[in-house]
Amino acid sequence: MSTESQKNKSKSKAEVSGSETILEKLRGNTPWIFGDTLRKPRINFPRFSSRRGLDLPSPSKNLGLILIYIVLFVLQTGVLYIIYRNPPAVGATQEGNPIFLYPSVNDQFIIEGIIASVVIFLSSIGYLFLYQASKYVYDRNTAIKILAIGFILILMSFVILQLMLGTKTQALRQFLQNLINQY
């Protein structure tokens, strides 16, 4: 057995199956990339020269954030729904009393979409406050105040949206009637 192990040791690396590294296998197939050193191909892009230099200042990140929030607010109000369906702004009961929430889940008044969008916007501001609180790691009192404001805004918007949905589905009215009937 010792003679066989000596023969195996005397074999070159190329003779042993599966002993090549990935780099050695690739070097044989692609010599232009993996030669003696790793080369990066150079690409010369043409340089265009403008006759007039136009240096525009780049907008700040806050402006971009404000534009994103404006677009989200417009989309959340249901502008596409309003354009497509033409719903009334506010409804009224048989007696003439105004109602702000459409009794069906599948439709909405214009004012309902605006109110829901404002509430969702307040929730997103709450999430921004949560993010801002993470910047005051070493000032604990300020961080707790900002966190509290953020949590209050998020919780308040969640409760308002749930009340709106409960009113639309008549589930809130039935729950309150059952509660009154029990007591």
Evaluate whether residue 89 is within a structural domain. Answer: yes
Residue 121 belongs to some domain of the structure: yes
Tokens of 24: 């050695």
Name every residue whose Cβ is closer than 8 Å to that of residue 104 and which is 6 or more positions away in sequence.
168
User: Is 29 inside any structural domain?
Assistant: no
Question: What's 100's DSSP letter?
Answer: S
120 lies in which domain range?
Answer: 61-182
pLDDT, average across residues 112-136: 91
Q: Give one word for 86, left, alpha or beta, with left for phi > 0 and alpha for psi -120 to 50.
A: left
- 183 close to 170: Cβ distance less than 8 angstroms: no
Q: pLDDT band for position 120 (50/70/90)?
A: very high
Write out the two tokens for 32. Answer: 């232009």
What is the value of pTM for the model shown? 0.60
Q: What is the pLDDT of residue 108?
A: 87
pLDDT grade for 155, boundaries at 50, 70 and 90 = very high
Query: Is 26 within a domain?
Result: no
Identify the band that residue 153 occupies on the pLDDT scale cut at 50, 70 and 90. very high
Query: pLDDT at position 37, please?
Result: 60
Integer CA distances (angstroms), 40 to 35, 37, 88, 149, in order: 11, 10, 65, 53
Q: How much is the CA Rg of the chain, to the nearest whole Å?
A: 34
Tens of pLDDT, residue by residue over 32-59, are: 555 556 555 677 777 777 666 667 777 7
Report how far residue 153's alpha carbon sits from residue 146's, in angstroms, rounded to the nearest whole number. 11
- Averaged confidence pLDDT in the chain: 80
pLDDT interval class at 66 (50, 70, 90):
confident
> Above 60 in pLDDT, residue 7?
no
* Residue 35 located in a structural domain: no
Amino acid at 20: E
Rounded (10°) angle between helices 61-76 and 110-133: 150
Backbone φ and ψ for 38, nearest 5 degrees, come out as -80, 120
Comparison of pLDDT for 137 and 37, the residue scoring more: 137
- Domains in the chain, number: 1
Whether the pLDDT of residue 140 is over 80: the answer is yes
Position 22 in a domain: no
Is 49 inside a domain boundary?
A: no
pLDDT band for 89, please (50, 70, 90 cuts): confident
- Which residue from 131, 167, 137, 161 is spatially nearest to 149, judged by alpha carbons? 131
DSSP assignment of 156-176: HHHHHHHHHHHHHTTHHHHHH
pLDDT at position 129: 94
Residue type at 95? E
Q: Is residue 168 part of a domain?
A: yes
Residue 34's pLDDT is what? 52
**What is the per-residue pLDDT for 73?**
85
